[in-house]
């Protein structure tokens, strides 16, 4: 027992004289912005795309702004970034003899690359300074072939950030293989049987690790059947989310929302009372599907209480980003429920959809 005011040294993480963060117990944040600039400069300097009579070359990175960092604790990497990138490209149009007919300059804008959208390709904008026939032709080459190259290299950067960015090599070096302890080989058969049972139990429990449950309760000033309808009608979904949607209203039918980022199947439907669906985000590891259960209660006329349970949400996406649960919960609050409230507040929405 420690004396009053002294604390128990077994529970105090003391500062070491050598500054070593033992086992990465403390949060260690590394600024990755300059590393990212170097990464993009190396990736987009004099990169040729396109051939034949129309050639395009990505010349350089003109600008990279924003923030990028990785947090590491106990070997777990949590990247965070919001950056914008501007690339300069040059195109040449040649005749059959190889003579240069036109040379144009242009730009590639990537306005938003964020850890929140790590599983989705960012928006790419291509522009050209010369709007003539040959200029447009070269821009089309950049759109068709150059965009593929740009997205591929951005994906490599996203995956590198998920692995630790500039501290990846340091993390790999710190990994120490833990040798397996060999128990006394003279154990009797009954002991071995007990160990086998324990191993089976461990395997069963491991299946539950790495997943979370999101529970939300929201109140709306509307009828339950109207709220049910807005969630199950693809035209109304497009209206309040401003994104493409394809939604079946049948049990066993499939749906695709948020421009295909989320797909799934209807498992149970009870109009105005219950929606049960299997949900899967495109950025999740293969084979993982979550369960969404939405219960509608109408305690009084014109007032609906929604009880959402979103289970089996993975803690990490396929790129190693550990913000899946946080982003999914924020998506329900901000991109679905709040936008429904905003839509219900618009008179033109009611006239066009319900009246």
Residue 191: is its pLDDT beyond 50? no
C-beta neighbour count of 6 within 10 angstroms: 8
**Cα separation, 318 vs 154, whole angstroms:** 15
- What digits encode the pLDDT tens for the residues 223-267? 999 999 999 999 998 888 888 899 999 999 999 998 888 999 999
**How far apart are alpha carbons 309 and 27 in whole angstroms?**
31
- Reply yes or no on whether the pLDDT at 84 is more than 90: yes
How big is the CA angle at 156 (ends 61 and 264), to the nearest 5 degrees? 125
Residue 101: is its pLDDT beyond 80? yes
- Distance CA(170)–CA(341), nearest Å, equals 48
Highest mean pLDDT among 10-19, 44-53, 121-130, 272-281: 272-281
Residue 82 or 168, more confident: 82
Average pLDDT over residues 80-100: 88
3-state secondary structure the chain: CCCCCCCCHHHCCCCCCCCCCHHHCCCEEEECHHHHHHHHHHHCCCEEECCCCEEEEEEEEEEEEEEEEEEEECCEEEEEEEEEEEEEEEEEEECCCCCEEEEEEEEEEEEEEEHHHCCCCCCCEEEECCCCHHHHHHHHHHHHHHHHHHHHHHHHHHHHHHCCHHHHHHHHHHCCCCCCCCCCCCCCHHHHHHHHHHHHHHHHHHCCCCEEEEEEEEEECCCHHHHHHHHHCHHHHHHHHCCCCEECCCCCCEEEECCCCEEEEEEEEECCCEEEEEEEECCCCCCCCEEEEEEEEEEECCEEEEEEEEEEEECCCCCCCCCHHHHHHHHHHHHHHHHHHHHHHCHHHHHHHCC
Q: What is the pLDDT of residues 319-346, one digit of tens each?
A: 788 888 888 998 899 889 998 988 877 5
In order of their start, the domains of the chain are: 26-168 (3.15.10.20), 209-343 (3.30.530.20)
Checking if the pLDDT of 197 tops 80, the result is no
pLDDT band for position 172 (50/70/90)? low
pLDDT number for residue 332:
93
In terms of phi and psi (left: phi > 0; alpha: psi -120 to 50; beta: otherwise), the region of 164 is left
């Amino acid at each position: 027992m420690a004396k009053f005011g002294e604390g128990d040294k077994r529970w105090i993480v003391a500062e070491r004289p050598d500054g070593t963060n033992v086992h990465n117990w403390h949060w260690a944040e590394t600024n990755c912005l300059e590393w990212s600039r170097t990464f993009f400069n190396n990736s987009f300097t004099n990169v040729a795309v396109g051939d034949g009579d129309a050639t395009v070359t990505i010349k350089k990175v003109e600008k990279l702004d924003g923030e990028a960092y990785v947090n590491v604790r106990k070997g777990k990497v949590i990247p965070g970034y919001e950056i914008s990138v501007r690339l300069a490209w040059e195109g040449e149009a040649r005749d059959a003899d190889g003579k240069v007919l036109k040379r144009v300059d242009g730009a590639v804008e990537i306005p938003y690359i964020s850890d929140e959208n790590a599983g989705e390709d960012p928006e790419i904008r291509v522009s050209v300074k010369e709007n003539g026939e040959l200029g447009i032709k070269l821009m089309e080459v950049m759109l068709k072939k150059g965009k593929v190259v740009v997205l591929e290299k951005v994906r490599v950067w996203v995956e590198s950030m998920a692995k630790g960015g500039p501290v990846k090599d340091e993390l790999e070096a710190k990994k120490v293989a833990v040798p397996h302890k060999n128990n006394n080989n003279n154990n009797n058969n009954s002991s071995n049987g007990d160990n086998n049972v324990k191993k089976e139990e461990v395997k069963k429990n491991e299946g539950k690790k790495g997943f979370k449950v999101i529970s939300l309760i929201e109140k709306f000033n509307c009828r339950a059947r109207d709220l049910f309808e807005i969630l199950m009608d693809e035209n109304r979904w497009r209206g309040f989310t401003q994104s493409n949607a394809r939604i079946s209203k049948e049990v066993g039918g499939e749906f695709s929302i948020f421009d295909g980022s989320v797909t799934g199947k209807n498992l149970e439907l009870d109009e105005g009372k219950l929606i049960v669906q299997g949900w899967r985000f495109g950025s999740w590891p293969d084979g993982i599907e979550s369960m969404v259960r939405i219960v509608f209660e109408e305690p009084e006329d014109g007032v609906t209480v929604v009880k959402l349970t979103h289970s089996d949400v993975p803690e990490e996406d396929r790129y190693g980003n550990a913000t899946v649960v946080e982003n999914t919960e924020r998506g329900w609050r901000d991109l679905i429920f709040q936008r429904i409230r905003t839509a219900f507040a618009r008179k033109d929405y009611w006239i066009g959809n319900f009246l």
